[in-house]
Chain A
Amino acid sequence: MEKRVTFGKWTIGILFAVPQLILIFTFFYWPAGQAVYWSLTLQQPWGGGNIWVGLDNFRSILANADYWNSITASLIFAGISTGLAMFIALVLAALTDRQLAGSWLYRVVLIWPYGIAAPALAMAFRFILAPEAGFMAFANHFWPGFWDPGLNGADAMASVIIAFSWKYVGYNFIFFLAAFQAIPRSLIEAAAMDGSGVIRRFWDIQFPLITPTIFFLLVINITESFQDSFGIVDIMTAGGPANATNLMVYKIYSDGFKGLDYSGAAAQSIILMLLIIALTIVQFRFIERRVHYR
């Protein structure tokens, strides 16, 4: 879509774009290029600049069991938390959209979790899920050793997933509810006149109409699970126990800033970048499909 009427002096036009261009060049394109450069070179231990090592950084990372462990952990985290957050949000949004008495309350309250900073909610959940105080301690009281995120990797992963899903149920709820409300009411009413029940209407009318939203949220949730998980992991588990929750962004951070291995961290960044770009491309395919649909 293009404007028919425009302004003539295009030099002024470019000037309007200059602030943004300077910003993205300095803080986006240069660092991204730098990451590529670092990933292909190795800093010498006693200064003297970087030496070219080609793909060695990638080779050593891909040969590292810790890195594969981090990828596996990230994928498990992304899969379970996305599934959980989307399913719960879908059910809640579908039910809120029935607009029974009091649904305004859910419409208001269910989006609150998304406003909370990841580290703050991580702190809350660290307390709620703490094995010695809080509420899981109650379970431990009956079955000693039932729950201990400090020692058991699966428990730690579960707590991180719970905290993340709690926040993203709120996020997904906003989008699902908006999608449901965009479906013309007359369509639902006509189907009801023809004698279809609530469940039938959901599967045959509402669900097909919100599939674009589902695909969109799927991609966003997975991407966010790579980034927004950092604060949660840092506060709740710090990657432990025994690297069980050492997700990809957390590993980049600890390798780069604690281990001072810039080249290794840069190579990991590049791999993560490629992963996210691939996901974004998938998303664009679906957006295209949505445009055709209308």
Chain B
Amino acid sequence: MVERTPILNFFTHLILFVGFVFCVAPFVIVAVAASHNLKDVNDVPMSLLPGSDFWVNIKTAWTTTDLGPNLLNSFIMAFGVAAGKVIVSALTAFSIVYFRYPGRMLIFWLIFITLMLPLEVRIVPTYAVVANVLDPYQTIMDLTGLSWLIQKISGVQVQLSLGLLNSYSGLILPLVATATGTFLYRQFFLTVPDELTEAARMDGAGALRFFVDILLPLSRNNMAALGTIMFLWAWNQYLWPLLITTDQSHAMAVTELKQLIPNVGGAPEWHIAMAGTLIVMLPPLIVVVLMQRWFVRGLIATEK
């Protein structure tokens, strides 16, 4: 560093170390508690030396909450949201940046506003829409008299209905419908030199060709960053899957964790609960550790 400051350095190390301990302690406690048996885990104070029942507890937690299929569901949803975001946002940003058409700024603002209201806030009506996604279109047709017209002409009464409760699309699509990634791409596309576009056009490339062969390969870094962030974000969703998945076959790992809370009056099976918690914690933690660079970069880029 710049100068010699032994006392300050000592305190720097001390405070950082305390921060480190507080940051890691919950992980350690969860892992240790997951290795105890029923008696040891309820000891006051609990021993911080690992017990011997780790795999037994993991297995119990795995079977009681059906974690196998649930983890798979979580993976499908997280991948779906990440992929959907990466693709849809790239398309939209391309349209906003590389074309001039009437209403372009309107589209920009329509998308921008979605940043303001997170899903949690408009949860009740969004749930109603997912129960029948075609309801908005039905209502519009009813109000504009279109369905009356169709009934008059063809004799068919229009009843649009498509329920997405307990389906992957119902889980994924509403989570994709925000602006987060669009602006990440937009910022990046704006830094791509105009000369590149000119050269591509001179060589006879059309918009689609330019997008697929030049722009997308250039945005690989952005895609990795956005994908990482969105994967974690989707994996950690709780309220939305809790509402949408009422039957067991579509339950998520994170929402099923609730089953493991020890009942009042029952045996305080914290060792099982902690084993389940550990399993659910692990995938996002692994993603953060392995993809740290993209994670940090994505966070900083998407939020600004």
Contacts and interface: CB of A to CB of B under 8 A. Distances in A.
Nearest to A37: B125
Contacts of B160: none
A34 interface: yes
B41 A133 contact: yes
Interface in A114-150: 114-121, 123-128, 130, 132-135, 137-138, 141
Interface residues of B, number: 110
A111 B292 contact: yes
Interface string B83-114: 00000110110111111110010010011001
B257 A120 contact: yes
A198 to B, nearest CB: 6
- Interface on chain B toward A: helix, strand, loop, or mixed SS? helix
B216 interface: no
- Interface on chain A toward B: helix, strand, loop, or mixed SS? helix
Contact of A175 (B13, B20, B118, B300): B300
Interface string A251-294: 01100110000100110010011001100100000000000000
Given A32-B117, A127-B273, A23 B173 contact: yes
A283 to B, nearest CB: 10
A266 B300 CA distance: 33
Interface stretch (B51-59, B126-134, B145-153, B219-227): B126-134
Nearest to A264: B124
Contact of A20 (B23, B136, B182, B289): B182
A1 interface: yes
B86 to A, nearest CB: 13
A26 B124 contact: no
Interface in B3-43: 3, 5, 8-9, 12-13, 15-16, 19-20, 22-24, 26-27, 29-30, 33, 41-43
Given A27-B126, A38-B125, A133-B44, A257 B243 contact: yes
A75 interface: no
B121 A116 contact: no
Contacts of A88: 19
Interface of B: 1-3, 5, 8-9, 12-13, 15-16, 19-20, 22-24, 26-27, 29-30, 33, 41-46, 88-89, 91-92, 94-101, 104, 107, 110-111, 114-118, 120-130, 133, 136, 173-174, 176-179, 182, 190, 194, 197-198, 201, 206-208, 210-211, 232, 235-236, 238-239, 242-243, 254-255, 257-258, 260-261, 268, 270, 273-274, 276-277, 280-281, 284-285, 287-289, 292, 295-296, 299-300, 303-304
Interface of A: 1, 3-7, 9-17, 19-21, 23-32, 34-35, 38, 88, 91-92, 95-96, 98-100, 102-103, 105-106, 108-121, 123-128, 130, 132-135, 137-138, 141, 166, 169-171, 174-175, 178, 188-189, 192, 197-198, 216, 220, 223, 226-227, 230-231, 234-235, 249, 252-253, 256-257, 262, 265-266, 269, 272-273, 276-277, 280
Given A3-B190, A128-B29, 13 more contacts: A6-B197, A10-B99, A23-B88, A24-B179, A27-B129, A27-B173, A102-B13, A132-B268, A135-B45, A138-B44, A230-B238, A276-B121, A277-B116
20 contacts: A6-B197, A7-B201, A13-B104, A13-B207, A17-B107, A20-B92, A26-B173, A26-B177, A98-B9, A100-B9, A117-B284, A127-B274, A166-B22, A166-B26, A174-B299, A220-B303, A226-B121, A266-B125, A269-B121, A269-B125
